[in-house]
Structures are given as C-alpha cells and as structure tokens.
Amino acid sequence: MCAKLTKALDKSLWVFHVNSGSCNGCDIEILAALTPRYDAERFGVHLVGTPRHADVLLVTGPVTRDMEEKLKRIYEMTPDPKVVIAVGTCGVSGGVFHESYNLVGPIDRVIPVDIYVPGCPPRPEAIIDAVVKAWLKLERLRGEGGEQ
C-alpha cells in the first residue's frame, strides 16, 4: 500500500450500498444523504452499482443467515484498498434484533468493519461524515505503508 495510492483515494470515494437484512430505515437515510439537499457528491462521493467499482461498502442492518455468504462475497469482490462502514445500530451491535434466531450477528462478525455509525436510523449528516472520514482508515494504511 503506497502513500500515493491512499492519497488519491481521499477525495474520490465511490460507495456501494449493501443491505444485509436491514429494516430499510438506514437505507432511506442513505438515499437521503445522496439527495440534492445533502449533496454528497461535493466530496467526490458517488454511488456505484457494482462492488467492483467501489472503495467504500456501506453495510446496513444485522447480518441474516441468508446474507452471510453474499456479504462475504461482496467484500471479496471489492478491489483493494477498501473501507467498510456499518450504518445503523443493528449493524453495529444487532440492535433490537440481537437475540433473533435467524441472525448471524452484527456486521463485524462476518467482515472487518472500519467505521461504525450508530443511530436508529443515523442522520444523513452522520453517514456523509463517516464516508468522508473513511480517509482516516486510509491514512492509517498510509502510515503502515511508510514503514515498509
């Protein structure tokens, strides 16, 4: 991971949205973040339709048994370097569904999560803030690259 690489990523983060069993509340807030009112595109954030183009995975909801394998596949399909953001309380901890029999658990039990956005649902500002701050993780990677 060279320094040049992560620096280029800072201001051009393409987002792929995965619903791993959410109630749609967080998804609506993600869509709200993309509307002209919040204008995520001014930070270079761009919603893409395939994980192959994505730099950031926005994952909402607790992971259901059905979605576990698919979520892992989507994570592996995303080219490096990538950031995973868990949006909403369910994705962070399981939320009100944490005891449910058809859940695998919160997102970080299935794929590594870098940024957590709690809230039920989180405000669009919080989601934009998380995506823009994804560069903090990239900065960390840059530090690691510097040591090599």
Partner 1 sequence: MINLIYGIAGTFVLGVFAILFGLSVKGIDRKISARMQWRIGPPLRQPFRDVRKLLLKDNVLPDNAVPWIYNAAPIICLASLITILLFIPIGSIPAVLGSSGDIIVVLYLLIVPSIAIIVGGFSSGSPFASVGAQREMVLLISYELPLSMIIFTFAWAYSVLYPGIPALSFSTFEKYPIWNQFSPIGMFGVGIFLIIALLVTTAEMAKIPFDIPEAETEIAEGVFVEYSGRNFALFYLADAVKIVVLSAIIIAIFFPYNLSPWLSAYITLPHWLWYVVDVLFFMLKVVVLSIIAVTFLRTALARLKVDQIVRIYWFHLFIAGVAAMILIALDTMGVL
Which residues here bind partner 1, judged by CB under 8 A?
A: 4-5, 8-9, 11-12, 14, 36, 39, 41-44, 46-50, 52-53, 55, 77, 79-81
Q: How far is the CB of 117 from partner 1 (least distance, A)?
A: 23
Joined tokens for residue 55? 């730099």
Q: Are 134 and 87 in contact (CB under 8 A)?
A: no
Is 4 or 101 the residue whose CB approaches partner 1 more closely?
4
CB closer to partner 1, 56 vs 107: 56
Distances (CA, A) of 97 to 2, 29, 102, 109: 41, 19, 9, 15
Least Cβ distance, residue 9 to partner 1 (angstroms): 5
Nearer to partner 1, 16 or 97 (CB): 16
As measured in angstroms, the least distance from the Cβ of 39 to partner 1 is 4
- Closest separation in Å from C-beta 29 to partner 1: 18
Q: How far apart are CA 62 and CA 50, in angstroms?
A: 21
Can you tell me the distance from the alpha carbon of 46 to that of 79, in angstroms, rounded to the nearest whole number?
A: 16
Of 16 and 116, nearer to partner 1 (C-beta) is 16
18: left (phi over 0), alpha (psi -120 to 50) or beta: beta
